Amino acid sequence: MRQRRKLAATATAVALSMVVAACGNDSGSGGGSGSSGGGGSAEYNAASEGIVNKSDATGGTLKYVLSDAPDSMDPGDTYYAFNWNFTRLYARPLLTFKPAPGKAGLELSPDLAESLGEVSADGLTWTYKLKQGITYDDGTPVTSKDVKYAIARSNYTAELVNGPKYFAQYLDAGNYAGPYKDKNLDDFTGIQTPDDSTIVFKLKAPFSEFDFLVANPQSAPVPQAKDKGLQYQAAVASTGPYKMESHEVGKSLVLVKNDKWDPKTDENRKQLVDRIEVQFKVDANDIDQRLMNGQADVDLGGTGVQAQARATLLQDPNQKKNVDNPQTGFLRYAMLSTQVPPFDNADCRKAVLYAADHEAIQAAYGGSAGGDIATTALPPSVVGYEKADEYGFLQDKNGNPDKAKQALQACGKPGGFSTKIAVRGDRPKEVAAAEALQQSLSKVGIKTSIQQYPSGDWSAQFAGNPQFVHANGLGIQIAGWGADWPSGFGFLSQLVDGRAIKANGGNYNQMELNDPEVNALLDKGIQTKDETERNATWTQVDQKVMASGALLPFVYEKTILYRPENLTNVFVNPSYGMYDYSQLGTTKK
């Protein structure tokens, strides 16, 4: 006998500042229109917990800009939080997070599916029914087989590397080779489709948070006949309120209204503007200027303004009223590769942790407005977080050179060593953090060179490609992470599970940590039905990761976001840690 597991209740208990890849008043009905939080006026931080400039006015064009190209605009091949947020405009997964500020934004809402999943008594089967009347932008009905195919291509192919591989890890699919090698979808037994509206997931072991898993964009349907592999991103089949009019990959994207979208089937989105234009590879400081002078409406990356604009905005009362400073739920950090010498020695890793000047690194992210100094793998906004400071980061905010030298002695490098720091060059705050770390490490004899790479290919080709990391001696990689869903597992699994390491790119466990005890705790936790016991397990994982010395947490992130006065329905969705892109409109015509 099946019972429905309403896991969204867990999310509502989580603090406001939670993120997805990922990675954001009313209940979300009517596409986010509603009361609680109100139609707040423009004032400092108003959109962090309420809706600013609430409006149902239609028309106009929204202009987005991004400092690099995204990893992919294919919903099945992306892992940036901003893209999990943005792709909802044209791709509908089975479930999604409610479009609402505050705790309501952490709850799950049915999207393609009629309801949350029905789970079998043994926890091994999850079943969803699709809503009737949903079609693609060409009028073709969406079927359960399209959802099955979407998950097959995103999780069981070598070509699509950017997104997570949760389904491949947890579905009971035997030796399925993937749809590019085996075109008979019936051979994919991990998902069954008894009819066009029913989709049944078969698991190897119970997975207590499976509803959250199907809320990621990989469950957005893909027609098998239209799949062109890596080229599919150029013309994604739309199920959302917008469709692709043009997409020059890596340069620009234009979305226009999808006239086949039926708002009666979709309580999670708005279709207010006529057109959405996205320009890629715009300098980060230039983005800030465009936002402030009215040439752009939204920084797609959602990571906040740079140092120069930050000072201007916070000092000018007329500008500050259009600023929000939310906690994002992201952790900003450096990972130390356990497979790049001398970081294959734990004491050499710990020398870096002790030597780091945490106050200088915090300043690179904007000081206290950019976040609090971090001391754990889990940020405070994630269930399972427990306050700890094993290395004394808060006591020794400028580092502890004596302990660093002791660690160097213990690892056989008393005079120090040389290594490389990898960083996304189009992100000035990360470059500044690398420079601050470089300076503090030099004081104990650790010499570093900073290698800058583009964020669009960061995971597939550079820091997320172990072969490239090893060949180029990238001992330290600077990045950030937000939870795929609001739990310790949703935050930690892709970062610390040794079985999630992808040797050919798309790897987010850039520590290459493969600790059997950590792996076993992750399995134990996700199979545990008791919520208290499950959350305690995530705390244990955090403690073991920090004990390894492979993770140097920087800050529990806050951002300085700027919202031009013409934007309507502006609020931070805590599931993404940035403005909710599915609701925005404009007063410009």
CATH superfamily of 3-274+563-586: Periplasmic binding protein-like II (3.40.190.10)
DSSP 106-174: GSEEESSBSSSPEE-TTS-EEEEEBPTT-B-TTSPBP-HHHHHHHHHHHHS-SS--SS--HHHHHB--T
Angstrom distance (rounded) from CA 511 to CA 337? 4
**CATH 3.40.190.10 region(s) of the chain?**
3-274+563-586
DSSP 303: S
Spans of the chain, pLDDT less than 70: 1-41
**Predicted TM-score (pTM) of this structure:** 0.87
> Residue 589's pLDDT is what?
84
Q: Looking at the domain covering 327-558, what would its CATH class be?
A: alpha beta
Angstrom distance (rounded) from CA 319 to CA 312? 8
> Residue 435's pLDDT is what?
98
> Residue 527's pLDDT is what?
94
> Residue 39's pLDDT is what?
53
pLDDT tens across 523-556, in order? 999 999 898 999 999 999 999 999 999 999 999 9
Closest to 195 in 3D by CA, of 250, 109, 128: 128
> Residue 396's pLDDT is what?
97
> Residue 42's pLDDT is what?
80
Angstrom distance (rounded) from CA 428 to CA 249? 24
pLDDT tens across 462-474, in order? 999 999 999 999 9
**CATH 3.10.105.10 region(s) of the chain?**
327-558
